Chain A
């Protein structure tokens, strides 16, 4: 029973990745976003914005008001820490062995504080790798852009990767059910914490855009590209990769 279930999941994932890699689009191209179900996505996006306006945003404002910055930072650190093993595994598959080792060391040291306080002195996890980035590194294209109710934007590759990350997460050694229960319990807090952390930026896009849907989509893909190229934290060594894509935008449009 368990074997069959596992086999079905593996097959689904393999088919997803295959279909994703067959698609013509590549997320690293800033100017070509593949959004074949745009009308459906727009409808879901509008629904998500209503949910955000009436629940997440006010709750996040209250959360931000109550929660001191230090506590909010500690919670972010904890969520980063819990992802360290999967990040180490993905770094390793991507050939980033130093980063993989750093993630493991950071995870081991911070077990004492459950990641709430970073004892390694890095102020949180700098190396955040997931299977989506791993697939991108191996040139699997992103596939179509999809907006999921309540959860927000992703791609076909992103969905497949989330499932795989869930399955291969070394924390599963503690017991898959326990990990699923833990993740489910932490999800609302994570959503609140993230919304509160990016309150100004998200509200700026949400309220000051002429077409919020296309701006959020653009930001999603640019952010994804920065993560794939490891430039999201201004990593000096590889800043050029991301900027190179933007340079290409200017050259193409001259």
Chain B
């Protein structure tokens, strides 16, 4: 009776250990698989966007209005303008009212199209080579690569794309790093300086954007 109890106790311990090991193994495999999936998705996202950029640059050459329309679509498809707006205006964003935040996002999207139009020229007649993709934390991914344009000054310029998984588990770009200069950090410094110069009023940033975009 006693020996059978000992065996049962031993078995129970063994089974528990075995189950724990299996669980840890499965969870690790699941994370690794999810990470691999995300990395593949991120690289595909950036590669497809590069193809779309080349297409819109071609269209934009002959038809600027159509090019701008395509640029709007491209931003919606590949970028998370809400999150970019939020990060660009932190920490003032937290103190802004909902209506101010909404108005700012709407203006910022237009401003972003203007900015992107200038930045995308960096990718005119060039090839983008992905060198490395890394998952950073649970939600963020960094696609790192460089511009391939033999004979051009831009050849070899490192360009990184920071992507994040949104609530719908879709990947969206939230930052571009050109030659290790993060556009969102530069944007945040600029917006913060504007707000600070106007006594910390978030509305002042909205006014500056309206003036820039000629919106009433």
CB of A176 to closest CB in B, whole Å: 34
Q: Interface size (B, Cβ < 8 Å)?
A: 46
Contact B181 A222 (CB under 8 A): yes
On chain A, the residues within 8 Å of B90 by CB distance are: 253
Decide: B181 and A211 in contact? CB cutoff 8 A.
Answer: no
Across the interface, B189 reaches (CB within 8 A) one of A200, A204, A218, A234, namely A218
**Interface stretch of the complex, out of B8-16, B22-30, B65-73, B129-137:** B129-137
- In residues 210-246 of chain A, which contact B (Cβ within 8 Å)? 210-211, 213-215, 217-219, 222-223, 226, 231-234, 236, 239-240, 242-243, 246
- With a cutoff of 8 Å between Cβ atoms, the chain B residues found around residue A215 in the complex are 186, 189-190
A6 within 8 A of B: no
Could you tell me if A69 and B151 are in contact, using CB atoms closer than 8 angstroms? yes
Contact with A along B129-149 (1 / 0, CB 8 A): 001101011001010101000
Q: Is B185 an interface residue (CB 8 A)?
A: yes
Closest chain A residue to B136 by CB distance? A247
Query: B91 within 8 Å of A by Cβ?
Result: yes
Return the CB mask of A178-208 against B: 1 if under 8 Å, else 0. 0000000000000000000100100010001
| Contact residues, A1-38 vs B (CB, 8 A) | 30-31, 33
Check B137 against A222 for contact (C-beta < 8 Å): no
Q: Which residues of A contact B189 (CB under 8 A)?
A: 33, 214-215, 217-218
Q: How many A residues have CB within 8 A of the partner chain?
A: 35
Alpha-carbon gap, A218 to B182, bound state (A): 9
CA distance A217 to B196 in the complex (A): 15
Closest chain-A Cβ to B153's Cβ sits at a distance in Å of: 6
- A211 in contact with B190 given A30-B185, A253-B90, A253-B91 (CB within 8 Å): yes
- Name A249's contact: one of B160, B180, B185, B197 (CB within 8 Å): B185
Instruction: Find chain B residues with CB under 8 A from A217 CB.
Output: 189
B24 to chain A, nearest CB (A): 26
| Known A-B contacts A218-B186, A246-B162; A213 and B175 likewise in contact (beta carbons under 8 Å) | no
A219-B181, A234-B180, A253-B91 known; 5 new pairs, CB 8 Å cut-off, are A210-B191, A215-B189, A234-B144, A236-B131, A253-B90
Report the 6 A-B pairs with minimum CB-CB distance, sorted nearest first: A234-B158, A214-B193, A218-B189, A226-B180, A253-B90, A218-B186
Residue positions of B touching A, CB distance < 8 A = 86-87, 90-91, 114-115, 118-119, 121-122, 131-132, 134, 136-137, 140, 142, 144, 146, 151, 153, 156, 158, 160, 162, 174-175, 177, 179-182, 184-186, 188-194, 197, 208-209, 212
